[in-house]
Structure 1
């Protein structure tokens, strides 16, 4: 299924909020740089914006060294950070004669080389937003029970092989939206949690054409000491507490 064709984006802004991410940010930025160089992106200009929120380490320096635009803030709020990054990017591209595609990911995640090309292709089909999935990477040693439960719960609604999965998930690590739809929806809400879902909910209310797809997942960290309380890291920590290793390895029900 395709949405009605609309004006294709003429520029891309990749927005990454970060708080003390000097260790993981280089891999994230390297993956975005590779995605920006994909043949499917062509000559479309790509700006990467890192929003350094209350950082006490070298996050900002790492980002600048990689060629990213850095926005230092003191919000301690991921919704406000993402919104600030988008505002900076749209101001940078203020004179372009067309919509800007806003691609959101996270500092502890890495995108595929075709990530931006995939989103731009969907935008060219007429989709206002692309809501993607994530895959978890580098599970802690000795915790197969955690990985198994996560995968089972995450993919509960996936249909049989070969059918598109219009999944229920929303991740700021894998989200794209056109600037016109973003503005009409009011942008990222100033929320410390679920700001990504808040934006998608607003997009739905304003009638945006939203594609939920698992075709181009982003790889994200499995750390259980998250930067944002209540986010993906806390979700993994809760799963670990819910499933004792012995119960999971013995074949006992864990759902």
Structure 2
């Protein structure tokens, strides 16, 4: 079984599109009808995120942590307990292509770090996009780590100690632990997602904070 973890904190504006895209990826023919379980981890939500998630064939878990590391770990362990051999992670403000899961598994690696595309640059000045694209390496062998586009075998995940209980950079800590173990990591541009460049981001110190930093406002 393949598992997908989606943490969410007050994501009623984005969650539906995310879930629709992940469900489409779960039905890709190259998965050969392997079961795909999707877990949405609602972290301290006070909006309509739960009602949206419950419209779809997903499992909903609730935590009160305001920590994406805690949320991802809760989802990962629920999926491992249910028998997942592979864990794919994305974010509620992200959409994935139909071949997302198939592309991760095609690498035959212990873990896959994919790339991200911004879906809408309008919240930012054009110089932010220019600075971002000048620094971003969109090619195989890149060095970017995105919780919005990460996959790992359950065995390697457990060996590395899982996601730490951090408010941000839990993805980086996991990948560094995998590297220390000598895990086979595919740094792939063929595994890509589209994510938000919103300025009302959920995780301080994450991708949204990075973009504000490029504008010189953070």
Indicate whether the TM-score tops 0.5.
yes
Aligned residues: 217
2:85 to 57, 81, 100: 100
Alignment partner, residue 45 of structure 2:
55
Higher strand content, 1 or 2: 2
2:136 to 154, 175, 181: 154
1:183 matches 2:158: yes
* Distance of 1:83 and 1:17 partners within structure 2: 9
Q: Is the 8 A contact 1:60 1:72 kept in 2?
A: no
* Distance of 2:18 and 2:140 partners within structure 1: 26
Give the superposed CA RMSD: 1.4
Alignment partner, residue 253 of structure 1:
none
Secondary structure in 1 matching 2:189: coil
Q: Is the 8 A contact 2:123 2:199 kept in 1?
A: no
1:206 matches 2:196: no
1:17 matches 2:21: no
Alignment partner, residue 137 of structure 1:
119
1:114 matches 2:114: no
Provide TM-score, normalisation by structure 1: 0.82
Q: Is the 8 A contact 2:123 2:197 kept in 1?
A: no
Q: After the TM superposition, which of the residue ranges 49-58 and 36-45 deviates more from structure 2?
A: 36-45
Q: Is the 8 A contact 2:114 2:187 kept in 1?
A: yes
Secondary structure in 2 matching 1:227: coil
Q: Which runs of 5+ in 1 are unaligned?
A: 1-10, 94-98, 159-163, 243-255
1:25 Cα deviation from its structure 2 partner: 0.4
1:241 Cα deviation from its structure 2 partner: 2.2
Q: Is the 8 A contact 2:27 2:33 kept in 1?
A: no
Q: Is the 8 A contact 1:12 1:46 kept in 2?
A: yes
Alignment partner, residue 170 of structure 2:
195
1:209 Cα deviation from its structure 2 partner: 0.8
1:215 to 186, 190, 201: 190
* Distance of 1:121 and 1:48 partners within structure 2: 20
| Cα 1:221/1:165, change in 2 over 3 Å | same
Provide TM-score, normalisation by structure 2: 0.96
1:142 Cα deviation from its structure 2 partner: 7.2
Q: Which runs of 5+ in 2 are unaligned?
A: none
| Structure with bigger gyration radius | 1
Structure 1 moving runs of 4+ over 6 Å: none
